[in-house]
Amino acid sequence: MADRFVEVAVPVPVDGTFDYAVPGELADVRLEPGMRVMVPYGRRELAGVVLAVKSAPNERVRAKIRPVSQILDETPVLPAALLDVLQRAAEDVLAPVGVAVAAAIPPGTAPRPGRQVRLLDPGRRALEAGEARGNLGKVLWALGRGPQPESRLKSRFKAVIPALDHLERVGWISREAVTERPAVRVQTERFYGLAPGLDPEEWRERLARAPRRQELLDVLRDGPRALRSSSALKALVEAGAVVVEERERVRGNVTVPLLAPDVELTLTPHQREAVSEIVGAVKEERGATFLLYGITGSGKTEVYLRAAAHSASGWRCCTVGCRAASASTSGGASATAHSRSRSARGRRCSRHSRTRG
């Protein structure tokens, strides 16, 4: 029996998650929540997101636990905090958790299950004998240069799609399940650095008549850098003084929060007055309508968050609807957006902040 199991959110319109076993060949591979795995679902292979790694499957699972087919990522594509938000949001709106989690991942970035077509010896002999003509012959010629993804063959030779099954039955081709690369390619950029063991001073002397190359060596002394390609840079690479490598282009660090969660902002006098009015209505449990008027960035949202925090501390429940313009709250029912609590009677309620332009 497997030592590790994973709870996976599979992108299908089904309420719930699925447990899979981690096979022995993947026992030493890093696996943690937020990483994508290829798993069998019915007769298909789908890319799901790991929600939890555990030592035993769910006790309610009665069917045979199927194994994970492949681990697709080396690091999580979704941080733990975002996974928690997605699961709670799916629960609040009664959405399948697998669909909700999949919506947070850019489409086309996950490897896709597919099939690879390979030309067998009988097919090669038929091709050499001229037995295959027309589009069928073109397909065999394409396969003669090497195995091809079935999706590529179907896009190039649409007329022979029905014939692939026949070619497999007669033994001319074989088709096997593979994992195709993502539809969206990872954008990369070239980083240049000094070759290992390079003596910059020695090379400066050798390049005494090439000042531009000397400048590039000085620039790269501090470490590899992304530089624009130039004739001087290419000459250094060809001479073995500089090495080049492809790195994934990083568009920004999204793991660092914009503001530390324990930092409390200081309210302006107008904000304190507004919070006091709203909190007063909540304490007195009287219905009231408040309109905050101010330009974008004037601090209206912080007023709602403070009133929401007070409401949440008293086990009250409030509803919030977000709009892009200015806001108003109704009945003093403000609360922290995207939070949940249980009332004294055990009823679950979601609290949002209601806003209207």
Query: Is the pLDDT reported for residue 123 higher than 50?
Result: yes
Q: Are 212 and 206 in contact (CB under 8 A)?
A: no
Q: Are 230 and 238 in contact (CB under 8 A)?
A: no
Q: Which residues on adjacent β-strands are paired with residue 174?
A: 118
Looking at per-residue confidence, does 166 or 95 come out higher? 95
Can you tell me the distance from the alpha carbon of 7 to that of 357, in angstroms, rounded to the nearest whole number? 42
Query: Is the pLDDT reported for residue 257 higher than 70?
Result: no
Label residue 332 by pLDDT band (50, 70, 90): very low
Label residue 34 by pLDDT band (50, 70, 90): very high
pLDDT score, position 22: 92
Taking residues 238-247, what's their average pLDDT? 90
Label residue 283 by pLDDT band (50, 70, 90): confident
Pick the range with the lowest mean pLDDT from 175-184, 199-208, 237-246, 279-288.
175-184
pLDDT score, position 357: 34
pLDDT score, position 320: 63
Whole-number average pLDDT of the chain: 80
Query: Is the pLDDT reported for residue 229 higher than 90?
Result: no
pLDDT score, position 86: 93
Alpha helix locations (H) across the chain?
Answer: 80-92, 97-103, 121-128, 134-144, 150-156, 161-169, 200-206, 211-219, 231-239, 269-284, 300-313
Label residue 344 by pLDDT band (50, 70, 90): very low
Question: How many CB atoms within 10 Å of residue 292?
Answer: 19
Label residue 315 by pLDDT band (50, 70, 90): low
Can you tell me the distance from the alpha carbon of 19 to that of 50, in angstroms, rounded to the nearest whole number? 10
The percent of residues in the chain predicted with pLDDT above 70, rounded, is: 82
Taking residues 5-17, what's their average pLDDT? 92
Taking residues 164-190, what's their average pLDDT? 82
Can you tell me the distance from the alpha carbon of 15 to that of 93, in angstroms, rounded to the nearest whole number? 12
Can you tell me the distance from the alpha carbon of 93 to that of 91, in angstroms, rounded to the nearest whole number? 6
pLDDT score, position 261: 58
Question: How many CB atoms within 10 Å of residue 284?
Answer: 10
Instruction: Classify burial at 73, counting beta carbons within 10 Å of its beta carbon; exposed 0-12, middle 13-18, buried 19 or more.
Output: buried
Taking residues 300-304, what's their average pLDDT? 88
pLDDT score, position 55: 86
Residue 328 per-residue DSSP state:
E
pLDDT score, position 161: 75
Looking at per-residue confidence, does 341 or 121 come out higher? 121
pLDDT score, position 356: 36
Length of the chain as a residue count: 357
Can you tell me the distance from the alpha carbon of 132 to that of 134, in angstroms, rounded to the nearest whole number? 7
Tell me how far apart the terminal alpha carbons of the chain are, to the nearest angstrom: 59
pLDDT score, position 48: 93
pLDDT score, position 352: 37
Query: Is the pLDDT reported for residue 111 higher than 50?
Result: yes
> Which structure tokens are listed for 232?
């001087």
Taking residues 70-84, what's their average pLDDT? 90
Q: Which residues on adjacent β-strands are paired with residue 177?
A: 115
Query: Is the pLDDT reported for residue 350 higher than 80?
Result: no
pLDDT score, position 32: 92
Can you tell me the distance from the alpha carbon of 89 to that of 81, in angstroms, rounded to the nearest whole number? 12
